[in-house]
């Protein structure tokens, strides 16, 4: 077999694997979220379809696929069609750079356990997460509905605002790891995870990530009690489903990112690295669900206030301090 064919096969296999895991993961994350929220509210959550409601995601998929695909009159049809796909695809693409395990040796070759180990992985991730805003903004605009438009506009400004804080909170990480490659960043946490080394950056990143994924308490773009369903008000059937899946994939990606940037990636004792990685991602996901069950939604002005007047100055300060400390340590 020629070299390039093997590489291609490997990439395709990894791609398929990631795809499969991500999509099932997202589906079951929905179920997990509903179950956990149910328990937090002294309910059972979905428990009718299959044992313990385990087939619920399947039932949901069937339901979404068989629902009427409704297109509002005067909607911008093309943009309206494209927007949900955009939301899901940008989320999926970000996973290309996530390393979920150290490279393994297969058929005498070293195979990196990442779809594509870019040396500028951090920038790639930041770029894609800003692209994600297009799904929201375009979907909201194309629906030709005031609720959707308001939701889209909110999403746009919220994502742009929190992206700044998110980017800035990653600067110390890059400084400490001296690399933009995610694999290097993980490897730089051999001794102490960055979450402990730089807890402020960790906290800022956590908050910004929650805001980026439009999750409670930052779900203003879809705030159902004022905007019906925000940017996806007019969507139904599988188009809505794409938005929905995109959101949960996003949650997994961001969980993975937190793991990579701050929790030491696949590193951990005793268990195989991939298991560590999954456990950490799941823990982050649980945390997000927990937050949703606990905190109420912010007001819009509070959201902006918090982003611009608290998070950004804090992260700038953090960059300066981290830089100073690193310089000082180098002596």
Partner 1 sequence: MNLWRDIKGTVQPFWVTLRNMLRRPVTVRYPEQKRTPPPRYRARIVLTRDPDGGERCVACYLCSAACPVDCISMQAAEAPDGRRHAAWFRINFARCIYCGLCAEACPTLAIQMTPDFAFCKDEPLRLVYEKEDLLINDGGKDREYNFYRHAGIGVVNPRGGNDDEYGPVDVKSNLP
Binding residues for partner 1, per CB under 8 A?
A: 36, 38-44, 290-291, 293-295
| CA atoms within a 13 Å half-sphere pointing along the CA-CB vector of 54 | 3
User: 264: closest CA among 252, 279, 248?
Assistant: 279
Measured CA to CA, the distance from residue 138 to residue 135 in angstroms comes to: 6
| 131 contacts 89 by C-beta, under 8 angstroms | no
Neighbours of 186 (CB within 10 A): 28
Query: Please, what is the minimum distance in Å from the beta carbon of residue 163 to partner 1?
Result: 23
Q: Which is nearer to partner 1, 5 or 42 (CB)?
A: 42
Query: Please, what is the minimum distance in Å from the beta carbon of residue 67 to partner 1?
Result: 19
Q: Which is nearer to partner 1, 44 or 70 (CB)?
A: 44
Locate all alpha helices (DSSP H) within 54-120, ordered by sequence.
56-66, 77-94
Q: Which is nearer to partner 1, 39 or 77 (CB)?
A: 39
Q: Which is nearer to partner 1, 6 or 282 (CB)?
A: 282
The SS3 assignment for 72 reads: coil
Measured CA to CA, the distance from residue 181 to residue 142 in angstroms comes to: 37
Q: Which is nearer to partner 1, 52 or 134 (CB)?
A: 52
Query: Please, what is the minimum distance in Å from the beta carbon of residue 44 to partner 1?
Result: 5
Query: Please, what is the minimum distance in Å from the beta carbon of residue 233 to partner 1?
Result: 24
Q: Which is nearer to partner 1, 192 or 295 (CB)?
A: 295
The pair phi, psi for residue 192, each rounded to 5°, is -125, 130
Chain centroid offset of residue 141 CA: 23
Query: Please, what is the minimum distance in Å from the beta carbon of residue 53 to partner 1?
Result: 12
CA angle 37, 40, 42 (to 5 degrees): 110
User: 315: closest CA among 126, 165, 208?
Assistant: 165
Query: Please, what is the minimum distance in Å from the beta carbon of residue 47 to partner 1?
Result: 8
């Amino acid at each position: 077999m020629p070299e390039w064919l093997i590489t291609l096969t490997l990439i395709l296999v990894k791609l398929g694997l990631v795809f499969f895991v991500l999509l099932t993961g997202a589906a079951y994350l929905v179920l997990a979220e509903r179950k956990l929220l149910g328990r937090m509210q002294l309910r059972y959550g979905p428990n009718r379809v299959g044992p313990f409601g385990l087939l619920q995601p399947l039932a949901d998929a069937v339901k979404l696929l068989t629902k009427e695909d409704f297109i509002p009159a005067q909607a911008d049809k093309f943009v309206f069609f494209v927007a949900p796909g955009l939301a899901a695809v940008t989320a999926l693409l970000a996973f290309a750079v996530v390393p979920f395990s150290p490279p393994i040796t297969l058929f005498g070759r070293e195979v990196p356990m990442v779809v594509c180990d870019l040396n500028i992985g951090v920038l790639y991730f930041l770029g894609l997460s800003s692209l994600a805003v297009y799904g929201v903004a375009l979907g909201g605009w194309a629906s030709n509905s005031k609720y959707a438009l308001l939701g889209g506009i909110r999403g746009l400004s919220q994502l742009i605002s929190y992206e700044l804080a998110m980017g800035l909170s990653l600067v110390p990480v890059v400084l400490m790891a001296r690399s933009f490659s995610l694999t290097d960043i993980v490897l730089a946490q051999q001794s102490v995870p960055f979450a402990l080394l730089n807890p402020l950056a960790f906290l800022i990143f956590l908050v910004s990530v929650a805001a980026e994924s439009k999750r409670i308490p930052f779900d203003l773009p879809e705030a159902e009690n004022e905007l019906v369903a925000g940017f996806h008000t007019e969507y139904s059937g599988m188009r809505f489903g794409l938005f929905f899946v995109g959101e949960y994939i996003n949650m997994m990606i961001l969980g993975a990112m937190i793991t990579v940037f701050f929790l030491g990636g696949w590193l951990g004792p005793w268990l195989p690295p991939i298991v560590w990685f999954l456990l950490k991602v799941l823990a982050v996901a649980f945390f997000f669900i927990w937050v949703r069950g606990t905190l109420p939604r912010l007001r819009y002005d509070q959201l902006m206030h918090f982003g611009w007047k608290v998070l950004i100055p804090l992260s700038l300060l953090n960059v300066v301090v981290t830089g100073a400390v690193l310089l000082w340590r180098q002596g």
